[in-house]
Amino acid sequence: MSRIEALFAKKSPVLIGFTVAGDPGIEASFRVAKTMIDARVDLLEIAIPYSDPVADGPVIERAHVRALRAGATPETAFALVREVREYAPALPVVLFTYYNIIHRRGGDRFFAEAAAAGADGVLVVDLPVEESDEVAPFAARYGIDRIALVAPTTSPDRQRAILYGASGFVYIISIEGVTGERDRLSPGIARLVGAVREKTALPLAVGFGISRPEHVRTVVAAGADGVIVGSALVRTIEEHLGDEAGMHAALRTVIARLRRGFAPDPEPDILRRERVEG
């Protein structure tokens, strides 16, 4: 059983945290990861810094820029995975990347290095299902889960095609557009989670736009097995550049607040309205 399988078999829902390797600095990025782990992130998604992160909104784009300016490379990401693996042997780690990085490196080499570093899964955000053979054989060869992406605009037939070769878990995109915090999540999340659930036995994790406990609560109520948070954590890093102690304290606070979303709402909306209006 892989670390990802073991995690979802042991607990649900899980909190998945995102960070960019090399942000806010190459050495500092491990300290960020360590704080996130200590604050009880259940799975860590590590992005390989890239110059054209088209799926990412401005907050995460700036994190890629900071990492690249600090000198981060794919080797930086692999080194960070190794450090995380040594610090937290049972913690699942997923590499988030764009296909050009794999193509430039060569599929066999990339997945061999990812496996040797201790990565459990790889999410290639811009690789369409029609071209999945570019990575599928290498992922299988080295025992790396291939994380699938399903968007609100993905048709049922395309969902089936995407899910056919997926493993680990399914990343459900909650909204149309790029990553970034939102005031409200789509009211169609439960419908989308239910539609994907009918087509796969894999765990389902929802990301994009999640930044508040009430967002977490909404996603869990929709039936998801995991909640993915990226921009809210990356923005916390950005807001504390030059104050590393404050950065780590703020990260712990944000993660603790998000985890409160896993508990039932102590005051349902109808009671809250009655209290405010009455």
- Confidence band for 208, pLDDT divided at 50, 70 and 90: confident
- Coil, strand or helix at 107: helix
Distances (CA, A) of 188 to 9, 87, 172, 194: 27, 39, 12, 10
159-168, 193-202, 236-245, 262-271: least confidently modelled range: 262-271
Tokens at 96, concatenated: 């988030």
Q: Give the pLDDT band (50/70/90) at residue 176.
A: low
- Residue 16 confidence class, pLDDT cut points 50, 70, 90: very high
Residue 110: is its pLDDT beyond 80?
yes
Classify 163 as helix, strand or coil: helix
The answer on pLDDT for 239 being more than 70 is yes
**The two three-digit tokens of residue 219, written as one number:** 């996603």
Radius of gyration for the alpha carbons in the chain, expressed in angstroms and rounded: 18
Mean pLDDT of 231-249: 97
CA dist 243 and 206 (Å) reads 31
- pLDDT score recorded for residue 274: 37
Domain 3-277 belongs to what topology? TIM Barrel (3.20.20)
pLDDT for 117 beyond 80: yes
What is the 3-state composition of the chain as percent helix, strand, coil, each rounded to the nearest 5?
50, 15, 35
| Positions marked active-site | 45, 56
Q: What is residue 187's predicted lDDT score, i.e. its pLDDT?
A: 73
Instruction: Please report which residue ranges of 39-135 form alpha helices under DSSP H.
Output: 58-69, 74-87, 99-105, 107-117
Residue 198, pLDDT above cutoff 70:
yes
C-alpha atoms less than 13 angstroms from C-alpha of 183 in its C-beta half-sphere: 0
Mean pLDDT of the chain: 91
Residue ranges of alpha helices (H) inside the chain are: 3-10, 26-38, 58-69, 74-87, 99-105, 107-117, 136-141, 156-164, 189-197, 213-221, 231-239, 244-259, 269-277
Q: Is 144 exposed, middle or buried (0-12, 13-18, 19+ CB in 10 A)?
A: buried
Distance from C-alpha of 70 to C-alpha of 89, rounded to nearest angstrom: 27
Question: One-letter amino acid identity for 192?
Answer: L
